[in-house]
Structure 1
Amino acid sequence: MYMAWTNIVDGGSIGIEYEAEEVLEDLHALTISSNTSHYSQILDIERQDIRLLNVKPGAFDDPISASFSTVSLKDAEVMGIGFHALSYCWGDSSEREEIMLFSNQDEADDGVPFSIGKSAAQALRRLRSEKTTLVIWVDAVCINQDDLEERAQQVTLMAQIYSLAAIVHIWLGEDNPGVEACLKLVRDICNYNSEECQGGEACSCLWTKHSSPLEEIKAFAEEVKKSGRKVSFKGMIEVFEVHLKTWSRAIIDMAGWYGNTQLSFLMSSLYENPWFSRVWVIQEALSAKFPLVHCSAEKVPWEEVVQQPDYATQNPHVASQQHSMAPIWKTLKPKGRTTEVPNTPIEVQNTDELSGILEVFLSGLDLKATDSRDKLFALLTFADETHDVSQLDDLMRPNYDKPKERVFADFTRWWIREHNSLEILSYIHCQPTRTWVKTVGQVTEGLPASRPTWSVDSKGSSKWTRANLSALFKFKASGVTKPDLKLLETDDPLILRLSGLRITEIKKISCVPIEHMYPYQNASQNQKEICQVLHQIIDPCGLTPFWARRNTAGEILQKSIQECNMKYGDHMNSHWAYADRPALQVLQPNAKAEVNYYETKKLPSCIEPCFFVTTSGLFGLCPWMAREGDVIVLLDGGNVPYLLRPADKKDEELRYELVGECFVSGIMHGEVLDALGQNADHKQTFSLV
């Protein structure tokens, strides 16, 4: 999206239509989904017991019959117990199907109805054999979801379960022509590069057939070369063009319709499948010995599917438009053998090469989970500090008895303690209502902040993880101080007590006085840093991946001063050239306690007020949700100043909400602490709620 694109709208409206669901239908769905009575055998924690579902042979349309068996993971590898595992999306909880559950594999009893999700039932129909029993682990079926203790215990075993499974079946659903076409396309792209099969009628491969003859694809690539064009990277476009000749109108429509077909449009239908946005699939796919992707009857090895986004990055036109896999797939590093059970099929590396849990967690913010706590629990096994489940701290151990707020508060407190740093507090700016630049509508303004305000949260976007001062700059506002670890010990897990200095408070906030801190010129040394913050975080030219809607989120674009000036001028004119509006009232950055305003039309009016002056004459930049009266503090162990908002009093203790970071000119490199020396008399304890 071009920053200066201007739409002049005379009026508009949004209509919302809805239909209320019947309460009785909801109650019925809840009733049939409870299977607690069928889990009669308690799983032994010490033995690392799991249940397996033994699915009887049957044709696709036959009713599903099955029974449970219990095995110990400790014995599974030694005894050679073979089983499969299913990786899938649960889907709508109200869409259920009943299977017949027998007490043993001999079907000596009559069996009882057992309710499972429609998606799981579809997968079982495709995976079962007509001759042999399918032994498979399905999380929603093999774990008693109503038993929170069992659920938490089984979560810690999931990496081992998926690593021991002979095949992990990745189920993308039934009757999805777009995904099926993509999988066939993937097969032929990989075959064009490997040349392992002749394709077409000559293909006798085990999985989805290579539908296009290899010679036909090669011949088309030669025609491209003869015409003076360059063959695309890995032949992606050429294979796409060959497939295009055989597709139905419905598939061509998904690819952009006649005359405008694009590989990126079609491949988006694959990566937009809900499976790719589910947090648990990260562990399920990367732990597997042999992951196999299914959609209806199509079957493609995972390694072929996962190669495509990398191929696309080498084809610029494809990469610029494609909806690809979540960033976390690139963040995760291969995990070494931390237990007796191998946890990844990828090359084994030392555990000190793993990413930290905060980086892993933040890169997974785009993923979804039925239970928001799983956005942390599902990723523990991939992080340096938490990969060994047996050594997890109580604050980090999966526990579904804890409410969501407590889980993420414990994570934040644990991280501060383990890393002796407050850097994690800057990542509250990943949350939708707390980003530096406003990304939400007016309906959210004035709403009370969700507590605890100091905790990271499951909501947000990975593209905002670098949109803060701690991530982009090397400030040391609090010098070499460390948090007082004794203050972290508290009877109330939703309160965080930290030591620090009260510096001043915000007196007034206005739009940026752009004439005094224009970032696209050779700024004076005094103004250089505030100009950089304005350029890289507020981003009036749309050069970052944070606020501009670009499909290829990545690094901040590097442009010359001349290019930035042109972009800024276009953006500014789009706000002032098409309508009469009053000039903006902005504060003078004069380093005095009294405030002075002036008028300007040199700033795009879409930039929220983010410039402040304080009661002591300091000035700086703040997130859009800051208010006059917010207190600026330096907290021990923090790299940047923080904004606190007085909240309430309890037992004479004043409590604060954490608003976020701020930039204060003149105190970002420990100047305040240098002036105070070793004098700690000015320090106080701040209680954050």
Structure 2
Amino acid sequence: MQPQSNSYRHAKLPPGYIRVLELQPSVSIDEALVCRLRAQTITDVPYEAVSYVWGKTAVYHTTIWCADEGDTETGAGMLRIGANLARALLAYRCLDEPRRIWVDAICIQQDDLDERLAQVRMMGDIFRNATQVLCWLGAFQDPAIDECLALTAIHFLREFNRDQGSHLQQIQAAIHKGTLNNGGQALQGSDDEQILFETWRAVKVFFDCEYFHRAWIIQEIGLARRAWLSWGRSDLCIDWAEVARFVLFLDDNGASVINELGLKSWVCNHINLVWSNKADGTPLYDFSEVLHWARVHLSTDPRDYVYSLLGHPSAVVDGQLLIEPVYSIVTSQVYTDLVINIILRTRSLHILAFVDHDYKPNPMGLPTWVPDWHALNLVAPLRCPTRAAPSEYQNVTIDKHMPKPRLRCRGTLISTIRAFSDMIDPKELAITDYDAETKKKLPFLLDHIYLQLVLAHPSETRPRADAFISALSLVLTGGFRGTARSLLRQPLGEGGGAGTRAGRGGLRDADGAGHDVDVHVSAGVHHQGRTARTRAAHSGGRRRGGRPPGLQVPARASAGGRHRV
């Protein structure tokens, strides 16, 4: 072995090749890490891929001795790696034989920008072709405590999936007894209930792991043939399929449990959403929706909110990536170029549904029609067919030669915004009983809105009550009128049996001019994706809301103006 003062120098990598390291065996956990690197094509010799959290990139706590295959002199030497990766390699190192592993920090020459870009383009194929993906949740901070938590959580996740309904009823019944404090810890109860809450506390710690909140893991797990999650030790592991089944069921059926215990399992369920498929095996969501579901995850480099998902099938349109992963351009250009490419290639304005911002200028200087994927999302677009942003967009042009690109759209004035409120807290919408209603920050919210929008106007310009209800319903549901394709082809007002005709209202502008409005309200609102029923209740700070202190009446505004409902 060479002196430790030597630094490892990566050999030049041929186009289309990757490096795979052979982690040398050791019977001692204390022995230094040693590996040999071999250049190969992705489909050559089988390998495993490691998925982990980099941690603080500027801090390196240990080294690994690296040498190229068949070369022990010229490029061999020490390579600095992060502490979390070092612990992962120590855990995955075999006792008596080398282990073939791909891991980005070692197998990619990080200071070679051209190689880094080429390897990022191949990242999807690297994880897709690995025999399995080893997901390292992290080392134990306090082994005496954390190892017990890991054993409890992993065992319970498997047990829960064997009888999901029964386990859910048990924790719901215990919660409804009111024996928890604000931190989700048991204040009292029987011994069995205490054990039950301690078990769920272990599950909470499991989902609190930083690993689950990292943007790159969405692709690394989603593309894996099989993904094994290890916590603290390589043998303390669970199949991702078990975790995915748990979070999907809990998100669909256990919102009260998630809220009361402060579980972050819903973050994992976003991985399920990203990789949801239709019956024919094609992606359920387009790339803009994939980016939306993934934005609750975190990335040090904001460009990776896009680049980390380029392995998703929806990122390819007409056989070409929607955007190339180029790290030499700034984030604002990445986000803007992506939107331009999506609009031009898909011939759809659906991407505009994911733009949300307040009145302050975007710190990156983004055009107002470009989503900021690394910012907090204020709203969630409706997951249903609407009349907004139709595919026929002959009147849409993009001027890319301006200092800031401009999107030009021609639309139709359909109505006038009479008033708008502050963001409505979703918890204020639930109507249970009179006593509960009187305890809300703003009791009888719909009555309050009706008072401000209808009764506050003179009788001669006042809209009819049924017209107000129709307009409010259409705004809240995005004009959704049902799921049948036959309905989607019908103009507003031709509802057939799937909905109820709300009536023809005489809405008037502030100047008294009247407009007949033909409206149609669906008999029921479609389920907005698997997790929409619980999203507002436990968005973990990624969405914000506040009580409406009172409706503000703006100046005359067109339907395309900035407004909040």
TM-score, normalization by structure 1:
0.55
Partner of 2:99: 134
Residue 152 (structure 2) aligned to one of 185, 190, 193:
185
Secondary structure at 1:38 match in 2: coil
Partner of 2:185: 256
8 A Cα contact 2:214 2:298, kept in partner: yes
1:543 matched to 2:478? The reply is no
8 A Cα contact 2:441 2:547, kept in partner: no
Partner of 1:329: 271
Partner of 1:508: none
Give the Å deviation of 1:318.
Answer: 2.3
1:66 matched to 2:66? The reply is no
Give the Å deviation of 1:383.
Answer: 4.5
8 A Cα contact 1:335 1:382, kept in partner: no
Give the Å deviation of 1:161.
Answer: 1.5
Give the Å deviation of 1:316.
Answer: 5.7
Residue 407 (structure 1) aligned to one of 318, 330, 334:
334
Partner of 1:355: 285
Partner of 1:451: 366
Residue 405 (structure 2) aligned to one of 495, 503, 513:
495
Change (3 A) 1:493 1:115: farther
Partner of 1:5: none
Residue 246 (structure 2) aligned to one of 279, 300, 308:
308
1:574-613 alignment, distance < 5 Å: 591-592=510-511, 607=549, 610-613=552-555
Partner of 1:24: none
Give the Å deviation of 1:69.
Answer: 0.6
8 A Cα contact 1:192 1:235, kept in partner: no
Equivalents in 2 of 1:362, 1:86: separation in Å? 26
Change (3 A) 1:569 1:142: closer
Change (3 A) 1:611 1:423: farther
Residue 56 (structure 1) aligned to one of 4, 7, 24:
24
8 A Cα contact 1:152 1:399, kept in partner: yes
1:99 matched to 2:34? The reply is no
Equivalents in 1 of 2:433, 2:131: separation in Å? 54
8 A Cα contact 2:55 2:84, kept in partner: yes
Partner of 1:41: 12
Give the Å deviation of 1:278.
Answer: 0.8
1:620-631 alignment, distance < 5 Å: none
Report sequence identity in percent.
Answer: 18
Equivalents in 2 of 1:663, 1:128: separation in Å? 55
8 A Cα contact 1:421 1:483, kept in partner: no
Partner of 2:563: 662
Give the Å deviation of 1:411.
Answer: 1.1
8 A Cα contact 2:38 2:68, kept in partner: no
8 A Cα contact 1:55 1:135, kept in partner: yes
Partner of 2:180: none
After superposition, the C-alpha distances for 1:258-277 in whole angstroms (9 at most, x for unaligned) are 74853544322211211111
Equivalents in 2 of 1:461, 1:334: separation in Å? 23
Give the Å deviation of 1:380.
Answer: 3.0
Equivalents in 2 of 1:235, 1:188: separation in Å? 17
TM-score, normalization by structure 2:
0.66
8 A Cα contact 1:57 1:131, kept in partner: yes
Secondary structure at 1:425 match in 2: helix
Secondary structure at 2:111 match in 1: coil
Secondary structure at 1:67 match in 2: strand
Query: Highest Rg: 1 or 2?
Result: 1
Change (3 A) 1:558 1:401: farther
The runs of 5 or more residues in structure 1 that have no matched partner are: 1-31, 196-217, 219-229, 239-253, 337-348, 437-444, 504-525, 549-555, 573-585, 594-603, 614-618, 621-631, 633-639, 643-660, 665-689
Give the Å deviation of 1:561.
Answer: 10
Residue 232 (structure 1) aligned to one of 136, 150, 167:
167
Partner of 2:131: 166
8 A Cα contact 1:183 1:300, kept in partner: no
How many residues were matched structurally?
446
Partner of 1:340: none
Residue 418 (structure 1) aligned to one of 345, 350, 369:
345
Equivalents in 2 of 1:571, 1:293: separation in Å? 47
Equivalents in 1 of 2:277, 2:443: separation in Å? 48
8 A Cα contact 1:410 1:493, kept in partner: no
The runs of 5 or more residues in structure 2 that have no matched partner are: 174-182, 446-455, 462-508, 513-545
Change (3 A) 1:83 1:383: closer
